[in-house]
Structure 1
Amino acid sequence: MEIVTPLRGAHSSASSESLTLARRVFEDQARALDAIGESLNEAFLEAVELILSCTGKVIVCGMGKSGIIGRKIAATLASTGTPSFFVHPGEAYHGDLGMIGGVDLVILISYSGETDEVIKLIPYLRHIEARTIAITGRTDSTLARSANVHLDVSIERETCPNNLAPTTSTTATLVMGDALAVALMNRRAFMPVDFARFHPGGSLGRRLLTLARDVMHDVPCLPAEASFDHIVNKISQGERGIVCIVSPRAELLGVITDGDLRRAIEKFSVTDALTARDIMGRMPVTVAGDVNLHDCELLMRERKLTSLIVAESGRPLGVIKSFDA
């Protein structure tokens, strides 16, 4: 049997064409987004005000690809301070209409503005007097004309070679949803700690919601008169590479790290007469126990520290290491 393999040149040509097409997708969609961004007007501001004034939930509806984008928009709003969820318009007529109340705001997504399942929601929404925002690509569509506010995401064409598959249009809708979320975050002065409350399982959420006292390790303490050998033993036993030097009233006077020990050995030919007072670093950087781990991380990075003492009323409580943050 003769095995036929593709010519190297043909493979190279096909790969080159694929890269050209892929780059064109990015270019086409970037141009479309720029055009929509430039065309934003008072309607966008009205949409933001509608959402801000909503006393209920923001509910997002859409079919097909618009529904997938709608789920993401609802998730983004919910995680950035706007209570929101997605309702499938097809399921709405089988009981889910009960999830929508008159105090809610409904974002209806359909690029054509004529999607039957979405259009069928309008009479019910009018009946319960729920406010609506339509995101479509046609200003003269049924959905655009029926909504309280219309956001235009019209594009010249899809980046799909056949101008059929929702590509650029879905990207434009997604970015419009992100634009709303960011504008709302700005109006609400939504801060990282607020974001963390909705993302406690993420690394940022953990660092923002975890306090210094929650992760600090026990830190060994010694008096200022402690001998060099005693310091070495204490640091070795503590396994944190650091020891706190305290006054008779347990007030923090300074710290000694394993690095300080090495420098002392290099500097002094004889260490037998050295005490903690001779080699300790004074005025160590400290944080209170209620400082969040994220701020501790920033402080350690700024000061180029590997250890941070947690202290209250001038007394050391523990130590945070760089790997904790």
Structure 2
Amino acid sequence: MANFELPPGFDFCQVGKDVLKIEREGLAQLDQYINENFTHACEKIFYCSGKIVVMGMGKSGHIGRKMAATFASTGSPAFFVHPGEASHGDLGMVAAQDIVIAISNSGESHEILALIPVLKRLQVPLICMTSNPESAMGRAADVHLCIHVPYEACPLGLAPTTSTTATLVMGDALAVALLKARGFTAEDFALSHPGGALGRKLLLRVSDIMHTGDEIPHVSRDASLRDALLEITRKNLGLTVICNDLMKIEGIFTDGDLRRIFDMGIDFNNARIEDVMTSGGIRVRPNILAVDALNLMQSRHITAVLVADGDQLLGVVHMHDMLRAGVV
């Protein structure tokens, strides 16, 4: 029965460090199993025209779910099937063109062994990850990946600890090897993570968030400085673009420019905007990533940038737009 009184001088930190040491040593020995079998497993998965089906019971099942999720998010479509449920109908989710990765530390999982004859009949390739190549699963596998570790971090040798870490790492090794072989890119990754911060950074383009049409602050070059300031106030983007009737950019005037001209003795009532505007203006194309526009703004120490095709004004994007879109 568990003891609910803490032993005198018990050191939680030391136990934690011991666990890390044991698991590091286990992983160091895993290196020897990245061999020709690993290559064969990667090749079978790479050329698979269907999906990767991962199976495992208990703690192996938990690792299997994470493994399937990692495959799926890195360009190798995958899903997890519980072996117990598979025996009661879920095996119908597995098709002949799929490939199965079955996980069991002992290699003697009854639930998985019961499925192997059906998988063989369907001619579904079987990759087994176990600690014993001579186990029933090891012998039945088309490819066996050894995940043997000297001992568990659990002092009783019962709770799966080092072995599940080794299994997880072997799964990561497979996923990353396949990712590189497929030439999987950061943008590909973002396509399967559209709701996350990474997805927003890698998928959102300036055209998705820029201000267009009547939202663009703009005046003609013969407008008065007063009218330009009113336009800046109305549109609330901290600037106005100076352009002709065809929306061709001639210059820009910003809040920062306003502060600078206070020391120039400008007659605010009679000055025209062309007398104080900055010619040109920093601009980006609408199809660039929003995060690239953000990086430009930060490097130039500005809070907004024009969106244009050459000199043709298409829109304006502000730092606040980036914040609202979750790019920052």
How high is the TM-score relative to the length of structure 1? 0.89
Partner of 2:265: 269
Instruction: State the shift of 1:134 in Å.
Output: 1.1
Identity of aligned residues (%): 43
The answer to whether the 8 A contact 1:286-1:311 is kept is yes
Rate the CA distance shift 1:35–1:300 in 2: closer, same or farther, 3 A.
Answer: farther
Q: Which runs of 5+ in 1 are unaligned?
A: 1-5
How many residues of Structure 1 are paired with residues of Structure 2 in the alignment? Answer: 314
Opposite residue 253 of structure 1, the aligned amino acid is E
Listed one character per residue, the Cα deviations across residues 234-291 of structure 1 (whole Å, up to 9, x for unaligned) are 211111112112134321123222112112213x133436443343334433222233
**Superposition pairs for residues 239-254 of structure 1, below 5 Å?**
239-254=236-251
Cα distance between partner residues in 1 of 2:298 and 2:145: 43
Partner of 1:173: 167
Cα distance between partner residues in 1 of 2:148 and 2:125: 22
Opposite residue 305 of structure 2, the aligned amino acid is L
Structure 1 residues 62-71 or 228-237, which shifts more?
228-237
SS in 2 for 1:214: helix
| Deviant stretches of 4+, over 6 Å | none
**Superposition pairs for residues 148-163 of structure 1, below 5 Å?**
148-163=142-157
Instruction: State the shift of 1:21 in Å.
Output: 1.2
1:312 to 309, 317, 321: 309
SS in 2 for 1:150: strand
Partner of 2:233: 236
The answer to whether the 8 A contact 1:48-1:184 is kept is yes
Rate the CA distance shift 1:157–1:280 in 2: closer, same or farther, 3 A.
Answer: farther
Cα distance between partner residues in 1 of 2:61 and 2:258: 63
Structure 1 residues 170-179 or 105-114, which shifts more?
170-179
Q: CA RMSD in A?
A: 2.3
Listed one character per residue, the Cα deviations across residues 34-84 of structure 1 (whole Å, up to 9, x for unaligned) are 331354112222111111100111100000000011011111111221111
Q: Does 1:71 find its partner at 2:65?
A: yes
**Superposition pairs for residues 9-28 of structure 1, below 5 Å?**
13-14=9-10, 17-28=11-22
Cα distance between partner residues in 2 of 1:316 and 1:115: 66
Opposite residue 297 of structure 2, the aligned amino acid is M
Q: Does 1:199 find its partner at 2:193?
A: yes
1:141 to 120, 135, 142: 135
Instruction: State the shift of 1:225 in Å.
Output: 3.2
Partner of 2:291: 294
Rate the CA distance shift 1:183–1:222 in 2: closer, same or farther, 3 A.
Answer: same
Rate the CA distance shift 1:265–1:313 in 2: closer, same or farther, 3 A.
Answer: same
Listed one character per residue, the Cα deviations across residues 171-224 of structure 1 (whole Å, up to 9, x for unaligned) are 111121112111111111111221222122112223333332221122201223
How high is the TM-score relative to the length of structure 2? 0.88
The answer to whether the 8 A contact 1:204-1:294 is kept is no
SS in 1 for 2:307: strand
The answer to whether the 8 A contact 1:61-1:109 is kept is yes
SS in 2 for 1:179: helix
Listed one character per residue, the Cα deviations across residues 113-159 of structure 1 (whole Å, up to 9, x for unaligned) are 11111122221111111111111122222212221212222111111
1:222 to 219, 222, 234: 219
Structure 1 residues 216-225 or 70-79, which shifts more?
216-225
Opposite residue 247 of structure 1, the aligned amino acid is N
